[in-house]
Amino acid sequence: MRHDHDSLAHLDKAHVWHPYTQMAGYNERDPLIVVEGEGRKLKDANGRWYYDGSSSIWLNVHGHRVPEIDAAIRAQLERVAHSTLLGLANEPSILLAKELVDLSPEGLNKVFYSDSGSESVEAAIKMALQFFANREGRGTKRHRLLSFEAGYHGDTLGAVAAAPVDTFHWPFKRVIPDALRAPFPNVYRSGKDPQETTRDSLAAVERLFEEHPGEVAAAIVEPTLQNVAGIVVAPEGFLGGLAELCRGHGVLLIADEVATGIGRTGRMFACEHEGVSPDLMALGKGLAAGYLPLAATLTTDEVYEAFLGTHAEKKAFFHGHSFTGNQLGCAAALANLKLMREAGVLEGIPEKERIMASRAEAVREHPYVGDVRYKGMVLGIELVVDKKTKESYPWEAQVGWRVCDRAREKGLLVRPLGSVIICMPPLGSTAEEVSEMMEILTEAVWEAEGEIRALAEGVLSGDRGAYAARERA
């Protein structure tokens, strides 16, 4: 039985609590209800098609209804949908583990499965902390994490503890331990050149290591770029310098590749841009091509072997999830990685990156565009109140939605992060599709100029009523 838009909208507002959504505003609007996908587009319940310009929140690799991945899932369904990985094994998880080890930076030989990026990060943090507890005893000094300001690693409590974002996580700060925080090298905000910005960040890391000798178990970082911070691209040399500092101080390095991995930055893994092999690497999002919940934490033989022992020692990694190593998800991931090779997805990214960059650079002259940042098939356009002072819009202004609403009217679905407009097309998009998406996005930025200016004037005048956005998602 098919339902029309109005009946679905009524049921949605009556029963569904949406993530990262202010429901008071959402319930005042007519929702966009997705009913179908094809290629790089999604169709709503009213029959209108839109480009999936955020890859369904950074997940989708090839598009929707991809024949090769559909077939792999159907074939696996004809065998078995799921069996536990607790003490048992299954064929797709074994084959995928071997594939991931072969693709990953050298030394990452062990694969632990979970269901989401937050959970893969959670597993990596727990592995790092227990690694030292298993080797040095329960009284080990190495019990702290080092992370980076404005970073984001997920919404489970361990991931939140590593990088709490005040806007999202303020109610939970009293129940999580404090991580040491260093500045991420944000060239736009620092006002310095890339080399000096990088030196300042690494110097802060080293200072924290020295101020807390022997206390830091692991440093966790989003390699190459911070996503939720607004697509902040680190200068070349930062990741390599961080890895060197970690080695020198006996600290494990966790690379959070949940958003940057599986080709998003132009390499299979962002760590490859600087030849870094982390001690632990968290994967999620694009691993199963946006089809099914699947994540993985990869680590070294050294970390793995610290968990080996007798039952009496209780050194095992007592952590897991009901759907760990799910056969359907692993089958989708295997088909995804195979298709990436056969279709030359990575080889096609440079051309599409150039298209995104050239189109985006054209909006730098917009009076309220402060910066444009990109890497691979990731783009961020930052709106500011004043280009000279770089003053940001307050969160409640929700200025980014002024552009995203215009883009939606034109057939492109993108979602902002505060004042930063994010565009992440599926990696398998054609050059023509990327060009069309960028044309819509840049037109939306210019067409929203009047609304953006009104918000800026409200901020500068101190008139909150003039800049407070209507309540919405």
Write out the catalytic residue numbers.
20, 152, 256, 285
Q: How far apart are CA 74 and CA 328, in angstroms?
A: 9
Q: What is the DSSP string of 66-120?
A: -HHHHHHHHHHHTT-S----SS---HHHHHHHHHHHHHSSTTEEEEEEESSHHHH
For residue 148, give the 3-state DSSP assignment: strand
Radius of gyration of the chain, Cα coordinates, nearest whole angstrom: 23
Find out whether 458 and 391 touch, Cβ atoms under 8 Å: no
Find out whether 313 and 275 touch, Cβ atoms under 8 Å: no
Q: What are phi and psi of 16, to 5 degrees?
A: -100, 130
And the tokens for 301?
Answer: 């033989």
The number of C-alpha atoms within 13 Å of 247 and in the hemisphere containing its C-beta is 10
Q: How far apart are CA 332 and CA 322, in angstroms?
A: 18
Q: How far is CA 77 from CA 4, 72, 84, 285, in A?
A: 30, 9, 16, 22
Q: How far apart are CA 394 and CA 400, in angstroms?
A: 11
What angle, 0 to 180 degrees and rounded to 10, lies between the N-to-C axes of helices 345-361 and 431-447? 20
Q: How far is CA 416 from CA 142, 159, 200, 293, 383, in A?
A: 38, 22, 29, 23, 10
Q: How far apart are CA 332 and CA 82, in angstroms?
A: 13
Q: How far apart are CA 322 and CA 98, in angstroms?
A: 22
Quick one: DSSP state of residue 369?
A: E
Find out whether 470 and 394 touch, Cβ atoms under 8 Å: no
And the tokens for 287?
Answer: 């691993």
Specify the residue for token string 């048992």. Answer: 88
For residue 55, give the 3-state DSSP assignment: helix
